[in-house]
Structure formats: structure tokens, C-alpha cells
């Protein structure tokens, strides 16, 4: 059930009918294969981007550290987001796309599991923490780094099936 708006069919499932916070009961749901893909973008100054990409070793260290941080964050999502279910993740993948023209790093995360609830929060948490790690490792060169456009791109599995952002790049 959940808290329903009086003038629409929209529901906030983490609130009960009286508006109190609750964890959603997923015990009645069937297990199914689930996947979520999320993205986040890190925008750096030209100088910070140049330092990030100047040497394969330096770039590898920053992005590999961000990858490990994102994977750890996905695995610990339920510890960070109060009403998230603990999931046994089958896969967490993190890829980076370097955009030298705009001095950006695009992060794409993929999480998969077979469970009774989706992995959207894990994918978005992974993207966010990977972006924060890039910020942390590059902030000495640029305190004005911007983390933006963290969002779900695609999800599949469960009763609601496939959902895909209509305007993702």
C-alpha cells in the first residue's frame, strides 16, 4: 500500500496510510532477475582534467580508486539509505567515459541481483560515491568540481518490468 495522494494515483511506498515512515514489506514478492543502470557526471576545470588524464598511471589510480569506492558503496547501500533493503548483489560494474572537450568524466554503473526488490538505489549510490571519490582525489587542483546529473538510466525486472529514461545520453 503506502501513502496515496488524494488527487492522484501516485503512492509513496515508504509511508504508511497515516503518513508514517516504514520499510516496504517485500516478503510476498517473487524473486526475479533485476538490473539497474545509473549515471553521474563529474565536471572539472581544464587544469584538473588535464592532471587527471595526463598520465595513464595517474588516471588509472584515480578512476580505479573511484571504481572500488563505487562498488563498496553499492554493497553498503542499506547502511547509508535508512529504508533500503539489504541485497546480495550478483554484479556491480562501473565504467568511465572521458569527455576531453567538456572536461568531464561520465560514470555509468550497473548493478544486478536476483531478489524481491530492485537495485536502483545501489546503482545510484555507486555512481554518486564514485563521483565523490573523483572529487576527493582531484580537489587539490580544483575545489569547484561539479557533480551533476546523477540519475537512473534503466531498470529491469520485477512486476513493473523495464523502465528507461526517455532522454538519457
Residues classed as catalytic: 136
CB atoms within 10 A of CB 125: 26
Q: What is the dihedral of CA 157, 154, 80, 69, to 10 degrees?
A: 120
111 three-state secondary structure: strand
Composition of the chain by helix, strand, coil, percent to 5: 30, 30, 40
- 8 Å CB contact between 35 and 112: yes
CA distances (Å), 141 to each of 62, 103, 134, 159, in order?
Answer: 13, 13, 12, 47
Question: For residue 93, what is the enclosing H or E element?
Answer: strand 91-99
Amino acid at each position: 500500500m503506502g501513502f496515496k495522494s488524494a488527487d492522484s494515483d501516485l503512492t509513496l511506498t515508504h509511508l504508511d496510510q497515516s503518513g508514517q515512515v516504514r520499510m516496504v514489506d517485500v516478503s510476498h514478492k517473487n524473486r526475479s532477475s533485476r538490473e539497474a543502470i545509473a549515471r553521474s557526471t563529474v565536471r572539472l576545470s581544464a587544469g584538473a582534467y588535464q592532471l587527471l588524464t595526463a598520465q595513464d598511471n595517474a588516471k588509472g589510480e584515480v578512476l580505479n580508486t573511484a571504481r572500488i569506492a563505487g562498488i563498496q558503496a553499492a554493497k553498503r547501500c542499506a547502511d547509508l539509505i535508512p529504508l533500503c533493503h539489504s541485497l546480495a548483489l550478483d554484479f556491480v560494474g562501473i565504467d568511465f567515459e572521458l569527455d576531453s572537450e567538456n572536461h568531464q568524466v561520465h560514470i555509468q554503473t550497473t548493478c544486478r541481483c536476483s531478489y524481491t526488490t530492485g537495485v536502483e538505489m545501489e546503482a545510484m549510490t555507486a555512481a554518486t560515491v564514485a563521483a565523490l571519490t573523483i572529487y576527493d582525489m582531484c580537489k587539490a587542483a580544483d575545489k569547484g568540481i561539479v557533480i551533476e546529473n546523477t540519475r537512473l538510466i534503466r531498470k529491469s525486472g520485477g512486476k513493473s518490468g523495464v523502465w528507461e529514461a526517455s532522454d538519457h545520453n
